[in-house]
Amino acid sequence: MCIFCMIANHEIPSSVVYEDDTVIAILDLSQVTKGHTLVMPKEHYETLIDVPSQLAMHMMEVVQIVAKRLTTNLHAKGFNVLNNGGELAGQTVMHAHIHIIPRYEENDGFDVQFHTTEKPKDLAAVLSEING
Ligand code: 5GP
Ligand code: ZN
């Protein structure tokens, strides 16, 4: 069975930061930075786009609640919100979840870089491809 389903059902222990009927937020075991938290639906959906929209919106409310708490109580100077959607994008646990990574300083263990090696030049063409 999915490890996050087991956590959401309290079948295996976790450090619960927030919980209600439909969403749970737990400390990530890896603690990329202090307070690194995962927000997930209790019900199993593989990626964020599989989550029903009302529930996805509620996940974002919980992200905001938890990010405020982490920022205030852990004195983080900022935070990153990250979702890895699909294996290619780095998703390792196939139960949708959003990472909240509190940030303390530039070299605190987390880094995001945008590489634009093959940048499409014709944005109008990209737009029409997206919108059909
Ligand atoms: P992903 O790579 O799928 O976006 O993130 C999965 C995250 O789940 C990883 O950061 C990993 O540390 C965390 N993780 C994996 N197994 C467990 C577990 O059993 N408990 C907790 N709290 N975190 C886990
Ligand atoms: Zn699951």
Residue 120 scores a pLDDT above 90: no
Residue 68 scores a pLDDT above 90: yes
Backbone φ and ψ for 45, nearest 5 degrees, come out as -135, 140
User: Which residues participate in catalysis according to the annotation?
Assistant: 97
- pLDDT given at position 118: 80
Give the integer Cα–Cα distance in Å for 32 and 74: 14
- pLDDT given at position 125: 94
Residue 114 scores a pLDDT above 90: no
What is the mean predicted confidence (pLDDT) over 91-101? 98
Which letter, b or e, does each residue of 4-25 get, where b requires 16 or more Cβ atoms within 10 Å of its Cβ? beebbeeeeebeebeeeeebbb
Residue 20 scores a pLDDT above 90: yes
Backbone φ and ψ for 84, nearest 5 degrees, come out as -95, 115
Give the closest residue (by CA) to ligand 1 atom 20: 29
Q: How much distance in Å is there from the Cα of 68 to the middle of ligand 2?
A: 26
Query: Amino acid letter at 41?
Result: P
- pLDDT given at position 14: 98
